[in-house]
């Protein structure tokens, strides 16, 4: 693929160069034009490189993310290439006798190729407590291993030095992270608690080891211990529950063998022996790498999608620049045509010139894109270090040569495409008008070429609409219908002229994109996604620009009226505004760039603003009025938490005074018919319903209120359950999201996240293997605790669940929930009680999201730079083009300052119209998003005026700075000289 | 002597969208091979339009035009372009030289475009020598005076040894002394080489250098002045 791309590019360049050799003089003209105005050349290259830069930046984001996950996976897995284990529905590893494991190991070593060694281990999660500091880690990973079994899995390290592991009875290694968390060091005692057994092991820290080499597996914060001690901790003597396999070759080579080894072990060893079938091949190193690479590609896609606006802006700028180059060279091109240069020769000249620009721009673009990515990662440091808990992204900064080639290729093709479009337009000149530098007449109403284009637009529009409707996809459906609107306008101009037809087109496009279509039953349920955001921007902004540009006279008249008393200023303003209105194509394109970018930034700002304003509401929704959620280890029940808290001996640092109330719930895993994953049943009681404020995203119509829904669930032998709203899966502290867990694609049909709806009947399998059917009558707004909510009575009677494992703490206002959560963890460590502080977790998550949004906004702001640069180009060109006119203005009494103001007003007009269009449309789309996504949840609508106005002021200020040189240049034109100007 | 240019009943309308202009109103004209004809008339008479239509730079709305016995009206854009490259030379008021090329390269362009690249450079230099710019080969237009630029244009018009030379206000942008020199060159060349020349001007004294002077007004040839 890569070679094919390189080959195609090389062939293309060779083809053009061979062609250039045949037409040396045209090539000479083209190349010399590049050197003609160096300033222009720089601007052209800067404009053309944007597309490449965005592509290069997106790809280098992907490369760096890949590199980060690859490095972390290689580091964590080290020489382990395949893991074999299985877990129960509760998440416990299924053990197997050591003897059976030994047989299996022999089988693997004998049959499976490329295996270097196999080792059996115990893996588990238990609370670990430091009695000295009273610090606890409720769910610490511990790994028990036989240090003598194999050294094929790498070394242990202490402070970077190889360390020879040897542990006595009840001795352990801990890694640095756990050492810090528990404030435990070499020689300290730690208690590893088994809440189910009600027992603990008193362990001595022999060494604080590095989280690297063989000890890296499973991530940081772990305990390494003797196999026998680990077996004792889980009360499974002479058994192992986790098998690691190392392949031949080093850390990286191992990944290459890992898939083959995993599949051979599964097919040739595990499946042929019933004794091994309780185990399964967990993952191979390569499989993990691929999964993470796919996850990380989301970043590449997001940056690319948000960069699309800047790419479009760059393309428009490039077209604008080329059109101006064409205008600048109009008379000489006319002359060339007169003396026998064919139209194709003109195209050739520009194409040769364009080829050099495209190559230069693509090369520059690659490096600018890489620079942009580096800057973004530099700014992202905080997000990852503070929120993600990861290491510095810059350490992983990578750009693959393949990515550079793809960026170059894609950028080059886009650039050449843009150049080709522009060149076709330029070369289509009328020789006589070109020679005499006479402006082109307006397009004839009866132009047959335009009529055919209109028909073509209608055909494309119809096809896209049908495709969209057939596949229920919003992007082609809306694009197609928009093209139908445009095509109709193009046809009607024949009879009613440009102004009326395209103004009507603009109005219809705006209505089409800005009206909440779904409310009118149009395209209901169609698949949308991010492309709609981009398309809406393109069509809405096009519509706005059409309306403004075709009704420019109204603006001029309005301004004339406003300044009617200030005669001299009126003259300046009117002459300033009339230019951009006259130059419709050029002005329209520039306004389009400004409006498009401001639109995208505004929409993004609106989303951030809405989230920010509704932060308290989000926290309220997620918390249900509780500050802390607590969950014990699976199956470990705290039946009497209120009593324990009131008992000073049991929990000396806790008191009920800290709380308004504490509510509890039963919970345990349940199987669902047709699903291999299972889910959680959560049994609640009347106290929970009375005290909590958890809202419902939706519920069956037959209920009047959320309270009625809860009451229905609380009824004796209730056949009803409540669960989390579909699409809210993931990110919870427990459960896996009912919606995403229920037999996806099985008992209740494919894509349960979409299929699960109010009234869905879920078939659970209880512990006696009986089917229990429950109907979903409500979807909760919260998604931190995921599962099926039912009454405690139902949980007990239908599922045999009586363990109180979920706790909801309502903390009194005067206490800090973070402090209280820490005390709860310490006091209930023996239950493995883990807590989260709702406010903290949501604020952290949202602030990370906000930072990403800010960065995306910054990414899109690149387009703003393009817009401002574009305006600078036009302004400079205008100063040059209008020397004669400026001379006349000076001759008839315009002062220098008036000329300067005239230029600045002209640029201000373009910028302000662009900013206003972008802002208004951005707010409108923001409102639509709010109306369809957030309003149903009761969220408040807000417009972040401060950020919107700030962006507008920055854009306007930057424009003034860019336009000032040309305004000064124009004001300094000498009247006498200008009137002699050729 | 055969007719090099023959036009009969030529009409040309311009439709600007707002107004329709009838620029040529059934004009008839014939120019003999090797003849130098000057067309004079007031501004807006249609002189330049006539030249553009006769040379194939612009299309006509009605009528017939033959150039060297070939029907121009039936020719495609490609054929007209080829004809211009091979059989015509143009001299315009504002020179219209390619600013990125040197004087000799500008002169060379028509030869290269018509595929006569073999001794293009030598012929271009010769043409420049004829107009007295032997010392300015490698200068770009920006480094030349107005008169020099116009002489480069003349050299460019001549280099292809065209049958017809069209000169539209060739001295319009020059002072009287330089104008005189340019006209001397044009007349001398006409005498030397014998190509047909159509000179568009609004100045009678310049037109006097031609074999024949035609007066044009309101889109038609009104009378012969010489």
Are A340 and B114 a contacting pair at CB < 8 A?
yes
pLDDT for res A979: 59
Q: Is B196 in a helix, a strand, or coil?
A: strand
Give dist(CA A119, CA A763) in Å, integer: 40
- A470 to chain B, minimum CA–CA distance in Å? 44
Question: Other C-beta atoms within 10 Å of A203: how many?
Answer: 23
Give strand ranges (E) for A258-369. 280-284
Phi-psi region of A222 (alpha: psi -120 to 50; beta: other; left: phi over 0): beta
Highest average pLDDT, of A547-561, A897-911, B96-110, comes from A897-911
Are A441 and B57 a contacting pair at CB < 8 A?
no
Q: What percent of chain A has pLDDT over 90?
A: 32
A198 at the B interface (CB within 8 A)? no
| Nearest chain A residue to B78, by CA | A342
- Substitution target in B23, B46, B57 with the highest count of A β-carbons within 10 Å is B57
What 3 state SS string does B143-166 have? Answer: HCCHHHHHHHHHHHHHHCCCCEEE
Are A335 and B92 a contacting pair at CB < 8 A?
yes
Are B113 and A341 a contacting pair at CB < 8 A?
yes
Are B110 and A340 a contacting pair at CB < 8 A?
yes
Indicate the average pLDDT of chain A: 84
- A407 to chain B, minimum CA–CA distance in Å? 33
Span of A517-531, B64-78, B95-109 with lowest mean pLDDT:
A517-531
Let me know: does A210 contact A244? Beta carbons within 8 Å.
no
Span of A4-13, A360-369, A679-688, B31-40 with lowest mean pLDDT:
A4-13
What 3 state SS string does A115-175 have? Answer: EEEEEEEEEEEEEEEECCCCEEEEEEEEEEECCCCCCCCCCEEECCEEECCCCCCCEEEEE
A493 at the B interface (CB within 8 A)? no
pLDDT digits (tens, 9 = 90+) for B88-119: 888 887 767 888 788 998 888 888 877 777 78
- B57 to chain A, minimum CA–CA distance in Å? 6
| Nearest chain A residue to B105, by CA | A25
**Among the partner residues A32, A339, A982, nearest to B110 by beta-carbon distance:** A339
pLDDT for res B95: 67
CATH, residue B150: 3.40.50.300
DSSP string, A616-649: HHHHHHHHTT-SEEEE-STT---TTHHHHHH-TT
Neighbouring residues of A426: CB distance < 8 A, sequence distance ≥ 6: A322, A323, A325, A326, A333, A346, A350
Which is more confident, A127 or A306?
Answer: A127
Are A339 and B85 a contacting pair at CB < 8 A?
yes
Whether A567 has a pLDDT exceeding 70, the answer reads no
pLDDT for res A568: 65
Are B105 and A444 a contacting pair at CB < 8 A?
no
In chain A, residues with a C-beta closer than 8 Å to the C-beta of B84 are: 338-340
- A35 to chain B, minimum CA–CA distance in Å? 9
DSSP string, A659-721: EEEEEEEEEEEEEETT-SS-EEEEEE-HHHHHH----EEEE-TT-SSHHHHHHHHHSTT--EE
Q: What percent of chain A has pLDDT over 70?
A: 92
Is residue A796 packed enough to be buried (19+ CB in 10 Å), middle (13-18) or exposed (0-12)? middle
A29 at the B interface (CB within 8 A)? yes
**Among the partner residues B86, B100, B157, nearest to A36 by beta-carbon distance:** B100
Phi-psi region of A525 (alpha: psi -120 to 50; beta: other; left: phi over 0): left
Average pLDDT of the residues in A930-942: 85
**Among the partner residues A342, A445, A982, nearest to B81 by beta-carbon distance:** A342
Average pLDDT of the residues in A558-566: 73
Whether A729 has a pLDDT exceeding 50, the answer reads no
Domain range spanning residue B66? 3-224
In chain A, residues with a C-beta closer than 8 Å to the C-beta of B78 are: 342
Give dist(CA A163, CA B78) in Å, integer: 84
- A381 to chain B, minimum CA–CA distance in Å? 50
The size of the A-B interface in CB pairs under 8 A is 87
pLDDT for res A748: 32
Are A441 and B82 a contacting pair at CB < 8 A?
no
Average pLDDT of the residues in A785-799: 91
- Report the predicted TM-score, pTM, of the whole model to 2 decimal places: 0.74
Average pLDDT of the residues in B159-167: 88
| Nearest chain B residue to A334, by CA | B96
Which is more confident, B202 or A382?
Answer: B202
pLDDT for res B159: 86
In chain B, residues with a C-beta closer than 8 Å to the C-beta of A431 are: 52, 57-58
Whether A507 has a pLDDT exceeding 90, the answer reads yes
pLDDT for res A975: 67
> Parallel, antiparallel, or unpaired for β A161-163 and A239-240?
unpaired
Task: Quickly list H helices, A745-816.
Answer: 752-755, 792-799
Q: How confident is the model at residue A387 (pLDDT cuts 50, 70, 90)?
A: very low
Are A25 and B173 a contacting pair at CB < 8 A?
no
Q: How confident is the model at residue A752 (pLDDT cuts 50, 70, 90)?
A: very low
Span of A28-42, A69-83, A331-345, A872-886 with lowest mean pLDDT:
A872-886
In chain B, residues with a C-beta closer than 8 Å to the C-beta of A337 are: 81
In chain A, residues with a C-beta closer than 8 Å to the C-beta of B88 are: 340
Neighbouring residues of A599: CB distance < 8 A, sequence distance ≥ 6: A309, A537, A540, A541, A917, A918, A919, A921, A922, A925
Are A335 and B99 a contacting pair at CB < 8 A?
no
Whether A260 has a pLDDT exceeding 90, the answer reads yes
- The total domain count for chain B is 1
pLDDT for res A731: 43
**Among the partner residues A25, A432, A982, nearest to B52 by beta-carbon distance:** A432
Whether A332 has a pLDDT exceeding 50, the answer reads yes
pLDDT for res A74: 92
Which is more confident, A200 or A864?
Answer: A200
| Nearest chain B residue to A345, by CA | B113
Whether B47 has a pLDDT exceeding 50, the answer reads yes
Average pLDDT of the residues in A693-700: 88
In chain B, residues with a C-beta closer than 8 Å to the C-beta of A430 are: 58
Whether A535 has a pLDDT exceeding 70, the answer reads yes
| Nearest chain B residue to A441, by CA | B16
Closest CA to A208 of A236, A231, A175, A240: A175
**Cα A47–chain centre separation:** 26
Whether A750 has a pLDDT exceeding 80, the answer reads no
Average pLDDT of the residues in A197-203: 85
pLDDT for res A741: 31
The per-type count for chain B, helices as H runs and strands as E runs, is: 7, 10
pLDDT for res B223: 86
Whether B185 has a pLDDT exceeding 60, the answer reads yes
Are B82 and A335 a contacting pair at CB < 8 A?
no
pLDDT for res A383: 62
A331 at the B interface (CB within 8 A)? yes
- B72 to chain A, minimum CA–CA distance in Å? 15
pLDDT digits (tens, 9 = 90+) for A159-182: 999 998 888 889 999 999 999 989
Q: How confident is the model at residue A45 (pLDDT cuts 50, 70, 90)?
A: confident
Are A441 and B15 a contacting pair at CB < 8 A?
yes
A32 at the B interface (CB within 8 A)? yes
Q: Which residues partner with B168 through β-bridges?
A: B200
Neighbouring residues of A800: CB distance < 8 A, sequence distance ≥ 6: A766, A767, A768
A330 at the B interface (CB within 8 A)? no
Give dist(CA A699, CA A683) in Å, integer: 19
In chain B, residues with a C-beta closer than 8 Å to the C-beta of A33 are: 100
Q: How confident is the model at residue A346 (pLDDT cuts 50, 70, 90)?
A: confident
- A13 to chain B, minimum CA–CA distance in Å? 23
Whether A745 has a pLDDT exceeding 50, the answer reads no
Give strand ranges (E) for A227-342. 239-240, 242-247, 280-284
Q: How confident is the model at residue A595 (pLDDT cuts 50, 70, 90)?
A: very high
The B-side interface with A (CB below 8 A) comprises 15-17, 48, 52, 55, 57-58, 77-78, 81-82, 84-86, 88-90, 92, 94, 96-101, 105, 108-110, 112-114, 156-157, 173
Are B77 and A343 a contacting pair at CB < 8 A?
yes
Neighbouring residues of A845: CB distance < 8 A, sequence distance ≥ 6: A387, A731
421-480 in chain A: CB under 8 A from chain B: 430-432, 435-436, 441-442, 444-445
**Among the partner residues A28, A29, A441, nearest to B17 by beta-carbon distance:** A441
| Nearest chain B residue to A346, by CA | B113
Span of A564-573, B43-52, B76-85 with lowest mean pLDDT:
A564-573
Residue with tokens 């995921």: A786
Q: How confident is the model at residue A518 (pLDDT cuts 50, 70, 90)?
A: low
Q: What percent of chain B has pLDDT over 70?
A: 97
Are A341 and B105 a contacting pair at CB < 8 A?
no
Whether A809 has a pLDDT exceeding 80, the answer reads yes
ipTM passes above 0.85: no
């Amino acid at each position: 693929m890569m070679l094919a791309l390189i080959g195609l590019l090389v062939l293309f360049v060779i083809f053009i160069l061979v062609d250039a050799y045949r037409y040396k003089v045209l090539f000479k003209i083209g190349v010399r034009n590049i050197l003609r105005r160096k300033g222009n050349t720089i601007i052209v290259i800067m404009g053309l490189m944007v597309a490449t830069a965005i592509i290069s930046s997106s790809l280098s984001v992907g490369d760096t993310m890949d590199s980060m996950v690859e490095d972390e996976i290689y580091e964590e897995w080290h020489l382990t290439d395949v893991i074999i284990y299985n877990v129960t529905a509760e998440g416990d590893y299924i053990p197997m006798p050591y003897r059976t494991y030994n047989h299996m190991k022999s089988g693997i070593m004998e049959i499976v190729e490329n295996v270097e060694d196999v080792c059996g281990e115990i893996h588990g999660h238990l609370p670990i407590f430091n009695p000295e500091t009273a610090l606890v880690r409720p769910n610490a990973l511990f790994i028990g291993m036989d240090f003598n079994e194999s050294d094929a899995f790498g070394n242990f390290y202490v402070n970077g030095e190889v360390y020879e592991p040897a542990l006595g009875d009840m001795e352990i290694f801990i890694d640095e992270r756990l050492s810090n968390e528990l404030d435990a060091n070499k020689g300290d005692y730690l208690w590893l608690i088994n809440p189910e057994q009600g027992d603990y092991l008193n362990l001595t820290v022999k060494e604080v080891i590095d989280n690297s080499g063989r000890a890296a597996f499973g991530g940081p914060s772990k305990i390494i211990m003797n196999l026998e001690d680990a077996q004792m901790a889980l009360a499974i003597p002479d058994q192992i529950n986790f098998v690691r396999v190392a392949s031949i070759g080093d850390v990286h080579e191992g990944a290459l063998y890992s898939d083959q080894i995993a599949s051979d072990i599964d097919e040739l060893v595990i499946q042929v022996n019933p004794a091994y079938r309780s185990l399964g091949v967990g993952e191979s190193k390569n499989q993990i790498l691929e999964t993470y690479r796919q996850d990380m590609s989301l970043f590449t896609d997001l940056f690319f999608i948000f960069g699309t606006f800047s790419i479009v802006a760059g393309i428009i700028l490039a077209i604008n620049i080329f059109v101006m180059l064409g205008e600048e060279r109009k008379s000489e091109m006319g002359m060339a045509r007169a003396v026998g240069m064919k139209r194709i020769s003109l195209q050739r000249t520009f194409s040769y010139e364009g080829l050099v620009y495209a190559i230069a721009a693509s090369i520059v673009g690659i490096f600018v894109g890489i620079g942009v990515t580096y800057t973004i990662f530099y700014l992202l440091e905080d997000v990852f270090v503070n929120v993600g808990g990861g290491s510095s992204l810059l350490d992983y900064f990578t750009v693959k040569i393949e990515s550079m080639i793809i960026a170059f290729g894609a950028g080059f093709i886009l650039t050449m495409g843009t150049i080709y479009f522009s060149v076709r337009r330029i070369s289509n000149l009328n020789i006589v008008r070109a020679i005499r530098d006479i402006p082109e007449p307006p397009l004839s109403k009866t132009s047959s070429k335009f009529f055919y284009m209109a028909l073509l637009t209608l055909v494309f529009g119809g096809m896209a609409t049908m495709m969209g409707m057939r596949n229920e996809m919003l992007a082609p459906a809306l694009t197609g219908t928009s093209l139908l609107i445009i095509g109709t306008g193009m046809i009607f101009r024949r009879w009613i002229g440009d102004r009326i037809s395209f103004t009507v087109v603009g109005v219809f496009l705006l209505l089409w994109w800005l009206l909440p279509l779904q409310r009118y039953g149009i395209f209901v349920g169609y698949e949308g996604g991010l492309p709609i955001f981009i398309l809406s921007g393109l069509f809405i902004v096009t519509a706005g620009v059409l309306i403004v540009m075709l009704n420019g006279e109204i603006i001029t008249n309005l301004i004339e009226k406003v300044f009617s008393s200030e005669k001299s200023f009126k003259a300046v303003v009117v002459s300033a505004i009339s230019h951009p209105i006259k130059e419709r194509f050029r002005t329209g394109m520039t306004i389009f760039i400004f409006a498009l970018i401001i639109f995208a930034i505004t929409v993004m700002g609106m989303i951030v603003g809405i989230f920010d304003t509704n932060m308290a509401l989000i926290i309220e929704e997620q918390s249900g009025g509780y500050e802390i959620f607590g969950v014990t280890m699976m199956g470990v029940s705290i039946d009497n938490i209120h009593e324990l808290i009131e008992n000073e001996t049991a929990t000396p640092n806790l008191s009920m005074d800290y709380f308004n109330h504490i509510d509890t719930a039963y919970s345990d895993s349940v199987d669902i018919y047709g699903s291999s994953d299972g889910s959680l049943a959560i049994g609640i009681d009347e106290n929970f319903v009375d005290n909590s404020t958890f809202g419902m995203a939706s519920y069956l119509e037959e209920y009047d209120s959320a309270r009625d829904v809860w009451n229905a669930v609380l009824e004796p032998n209730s056949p009803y359950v409540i669960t989390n709203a579909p699409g809210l899966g993931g990110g919870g502290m427990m459960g896996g999201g009912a919606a995403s867990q229920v037999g996806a694609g099985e008992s209740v049909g494919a894509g349960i996240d979409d299929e699960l709806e109010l009234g869905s009947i879920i078939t659970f399998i209880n512990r006696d293997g009986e089917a229990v059917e429950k109907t979903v009558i409500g979807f909760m707004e919260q998604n931190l605790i995921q599962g099926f909510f039912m009454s405690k009575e139902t949980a007990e009677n239908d599922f045999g669940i009586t363990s109180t494992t979920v706790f909801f703490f309502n903390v009194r206002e005067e206490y800090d929930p973070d402090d209280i959560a820490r005390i709860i963890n310490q006091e209930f460590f023996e239950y493995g009680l883990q807590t989260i502080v709702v406010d903290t977790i949501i604020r952290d998550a949202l602030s990370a999201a906000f930072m990403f949004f800010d960065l995306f906004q910054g990414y899109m702001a690149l387009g703003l730079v393009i817009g401002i640069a574009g305006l600078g180009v036009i302004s400079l060109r205008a100063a040059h083009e209008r020397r004669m006119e400026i001379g006349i203005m000076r001759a008839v009494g315009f002062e220098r300052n008036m000329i300067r103001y005239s230029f600045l007003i002209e640029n201000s007009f373009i910028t302000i119209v662009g900013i206003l269009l972008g802002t208004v449309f951005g707010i409108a789309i923001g409102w639509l998003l709010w109306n369809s996504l957030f309003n149903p949840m009761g969220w408040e609508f807000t417009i972040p005026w401060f950020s919107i106005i700030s962006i507008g002021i920055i854009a306007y200020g930057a424009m003034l700075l860019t336009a000032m040189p040309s305004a000064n240049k124009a004001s300094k034109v000498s009247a006498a000289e200008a009137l002699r100007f050729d | 002597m055969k007719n090099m240019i023959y036009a009969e009943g030529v009409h040309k309308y311009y439709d600007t969208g707002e107004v329709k202009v009838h620029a040529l109103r059934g004009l008839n004209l014939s120019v003999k091979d090797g003849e130098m004809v000057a067309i004079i008339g007031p501004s807006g008479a249609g002189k330049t339009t006539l030249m553009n239509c006769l040379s194939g730079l612009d299309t006509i709305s009605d009528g017939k035009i033959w150039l060297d016995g070939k029907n121009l009206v039936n020719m495609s854009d490609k054929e007209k372009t080829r004809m211009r490259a091979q059989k015509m030379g143009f001299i315009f008021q504002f020179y219209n030289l390619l600013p990125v090329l040197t004087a000799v390269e500008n002169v060379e362009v028509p030869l290269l475009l018509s595929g006569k690249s073999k001794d293009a450079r030598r012929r271009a230099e010769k043409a420049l020598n004829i107009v007295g710019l032997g010392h300015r080969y490698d200068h770009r237009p920006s480094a030349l005076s107005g008169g020099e630029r116009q002489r480069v244009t003349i050299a460019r018009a001549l280099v292809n040894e065209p049958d017809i030379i069209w000169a539209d206000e060739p001295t319009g942008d020059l002072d009287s002394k330089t104008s005189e020199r340019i006209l001397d060159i044009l007349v001398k060349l006409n005498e030397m080489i014998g190509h047909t020349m159509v000179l568009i001007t609004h100045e009678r004294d310049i037109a006097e250098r031609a074999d024949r002077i035609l007066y044009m007004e309101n889109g038609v040839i009104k009378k012969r002045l010489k």
